[in-house]
Amino acid sequence: MTVLEQPGAHRLAPPAAWRPRLDPAPLLPDERPHRLLGVGGSSGSDAPDGELLRRLYGLLVRGRRYNEQATALTKQGRLAVYPSSTGQEAAQVAAGDVLEERDWLFPSYRDTLAAVTRGLDPVEVLSLLRGDWHNGYDPRTTHVAPLCTPLATQLPHAVGLAHAARLRGEDTVALAMVGDGGTSEGDFHEALNFAAVWQAPAVFLVQNNGFAISVPLEKQTAAPSLAHKAVGYGMPGRLVDGNDVAAVREVLAEAVERARAGGGPTLVEAVTYRLEAHTNADDATRYRSAEEVEAWRAHDPLLLVERELRARKLLDDAGVREAREDADRMAAGLRDRMNREPELAPTDLFAEVYAEPTQQLRQQEQQLRAELRAEAESDGTAGGAQR
C-alpha cells in the first residue's frame, strides 16, 4: 500500500488540492474591544439589563474595597503578599459571577476577587497569600481550583477537568484565568491546543493588564492581539473592553453557553490595566509613567458602570452611599478576622502534598518534628529557669 492509499490519505493531498480544514474568518476576534457601557445609552435596545447592572455595580464596589483592604493588610503585616486586581475588578467580577454552581473556576494568584465573587470566604481565599496553608478552601466543594502561582499551570488543569466532564456526559464548563505574560508559557499553548482538538468545554480568559511585572505587552508578543492567538488553535477569539463589566460578562456568558452546548472552547482577551504595582513588593514607578496610570483611571471600571446607571436613573447618591457602606462592612469583617492569630501546625506543610510522600519529604518532616521537640524542650527549660 502506498502512502496515498492509506486511510486518511486525503490529509496528504498534493498542494494543488489543498484547502484550509476550517474557514478561519469566523474565528477572528472583534476588530475593536467589545463595549456595552456608555454605548447604547438609556435608549439603546441592546442596553444591558438594569437589574443585572445594579447587581454588578454592587459587586464592583465591594471588589474595589476588598482590594484596598487586602493591600492595607500587607502594610499591617497580616498578609505576606498581595497581587492587587485594582483596575481589573470588572473582569474579576464578571468571571466570578458568570458560572453555574456545577462549573469550575481556575484562577491565578491575581484572581482572588473572582473566587470571592463566586461566594468563597475571603479569609480562606487569602490563606495562601498569608503563607498559612497550601490552599485555604476546598476545591471539591467550592469548584474553585487552587490559586496557581507558576504561570499558566492552571490552564491544562482546566482543560483536563473540562474534557473529563465531557467524557462523563456532564455539562460542566471550566473557566480558566491567565495574565498576558502567561500567554507566552508552554502550558498556555498545550492547554489551548488540547482544548481545541478535544473540543473541551473550556473558556480561557486572558486579562491583558498591560504588564508581566515590568515587561510591557509589546515585549511579550508580536501577535496582532492576544485574542488572535485563538485562530491558530482553531477556536474563536473574542476581544472585549476588560473594564466594561457588562461587556465582559456578556462575552463570557456567550462563551460559557457555547462550551456547555458542545461548541468547544473560546479564548477571550479582556483589555484592562493593572492600576497598582505587580504586588506590594514591586515599585511600578520604575517602569511606567504617572500619565499612563492617570489615563487609565479615567477609564476605571467603577466609573463606567456608575455613569451608565446614573444616566439611566438606576442609581443616585443614596444608592452610591449604600453600596459603599455595604462594602465597608465587608472590609471591616475581613480586617477583624485577618487580625486574629491563626493556629498553625508547622507539620501541615507536608500534608496533602503527595498521596504517597517521597523519601525526602518523610526525612524533612522527621527533621522538622525533631526541631520542634527540641525547641519545646528548650522553651520549657528557659521557662523553668525564669520561674
Ligand X SMILES: Cc1ncc(C[n+]2csc(CCOP(=O)(O)OP(=O)(O)O)c2C)c(N)n1
Q: 226: which DSSP letter?
A: S
| Strand pairing category for 202-208 and 211-212 | unpaired
Question: Does residue 278 have an active-site annotation?
Answer: yes
- Stretch near ligand X under the rule CB under 6 A, chosen from 91-99, 139-147, 174-182, 263-271: 174-182
Angle at Cα 287 formed by Cα 285 and Cα 288, nearest 5°? 70
**Under 8 Å between Cβ of 129 and 66:** no
Assess 127 for contact with ligand X (CB under 6 A): no
| CA dihedral of 261, 263, 267, 269, whole degrees rounded to 10 | -60
Single out the residue of 209, 316, 330 nearest to residue 272, CA to CA.
209
Radius of gyration (Cα) for the chain, nearest Å? Answer: 24
Q: Which of 137, 188, 194, 211 binds ligand X (CB under 6 A)?
A: 211
Q: Quote the least distance from Cβ 386 to ligand X, whole Å.
A: 46
Site for ligand X in 244-273 (CB under 6 A): none
Residue nearer to ligand X on the CB measure, 191 or 309: 191
Nearest position to ligand X, beta carbon: 179
Residue nearer to ligand X on the CB measure, 69 or 272: 272
**Under 8 Å between Cβ of 26 and 266:** no
Assess 97 for contact with ligand X (CB under 6 A): no
Residue bearing cell 479564548 = 267
Q: Which of 63, 96, 136, 181 binds ligand X (CB under 6 A)?
A: 181
Q: Which of 63, 136, 179, 301 binds ligand X (CB under 6 A)?
A: 179
Assess 216 for contact with ligand X (CB under 6 A): no
**Under 8 Å between Cβ of 180 and 226:** yes
- Stretch near ligand X under the rule CB under 6 A, chosen from 145-153, 225-233, 248-256, 324-332: 145-153
- Stretch near ligand X under the rule CB under 6 A, chosen from 143-151, 232-240, 322-330, 375-383: 143-151
Q: Is 15 helix (H, G, I), strand (E, B) or coil?
A: helix
Single out the residue of 187, 162, 190 nearest to residue 263, CA to CA.
162
Catalytic residue from among 78, 287, 299, 310: 287
Residues marked active site are found at 274, 278, 287
* Sites of contact with ligand X (CB under 6 A): 83, 110, 149-151, 179-182, 209, 211-213, 274, 278
